[in-house]
């Protein structure tokens, strides 16, 4: 979203407060647009989550909008940026329901 730096700072502070103080929080689902891959803000957010010991699921969204080979490249590049295995990423499309069951299974595994 195109917003002022002041507004972004306010959002960042609110989000950090929520994530640090929410004791019932079991994990964070971080959504990354597969058309763009991991952006600088995405990487910074992931590193912040890891630093604070928050379990994180990274989901590449809008996977129906990219070709399969481009999705593989984006996944590999994002995995390198996050220092994760490519298999750690979930692929999802709200439009086609691609990856829906895998995402629910991952969420249910931590919720019990």
Whether 43 is in a domain gets the answer yes
Beta-carbon count within 10 A of 62 CB: 19
Whether 62 is in a domain gets the answer yes
Is the confidence at residue 1, as pLDDT, over 70? no
Per-residue model confidence as pLDDT tens digits over 24-48: 999 999 999 999 999 999 999 999 9
Distances (CA, A) of 66 to 37, 61, 74, 93, 110: 11, 10, 10, 11, 29
Whether 95 is in a domain gets the answer yes
Q: What is the CATH classification number for the domain harbouring 55?
A: 3.40.50.300
Per-residue model confidence as pLDDT tens digits over 50-107: 999 999 999 999 999 999 999 999 999 999 999 988 888 899 999 999 999 999 998 8
- Mean pLDDT of all residues in 8-13: 91
Whether 77 is in a domain gets the answer yes
Number of domains in the chain: 1
Cβ atoms of residues 54 and 21 within 8 Å: no
Full-model pTM: 0.86
């Amino acid at each position: 979203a195109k917003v002022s730096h002041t507004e972004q700072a306010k959002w960042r502070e609110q989000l950090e407060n929520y994530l640090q103080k929410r004791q019932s929080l079991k994990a964070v689902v971080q959504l990354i647009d597969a058309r763009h891959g991991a952006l600088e803000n995405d990487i910074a957010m992931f590193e912040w989550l890891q630093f604070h010991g928050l379990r994180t699921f990274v989901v590449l969204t809008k996977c129906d909008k990219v070709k399969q080979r481009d999705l593989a490249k984006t996944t590999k590049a994002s995995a390198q940026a996050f220092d994760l295995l490519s298999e750690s990423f979930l692929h999802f499309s709200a439009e086609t329901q691609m990856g829906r069951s895998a995402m629910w299974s991952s969420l249910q595994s931590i919720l019990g």
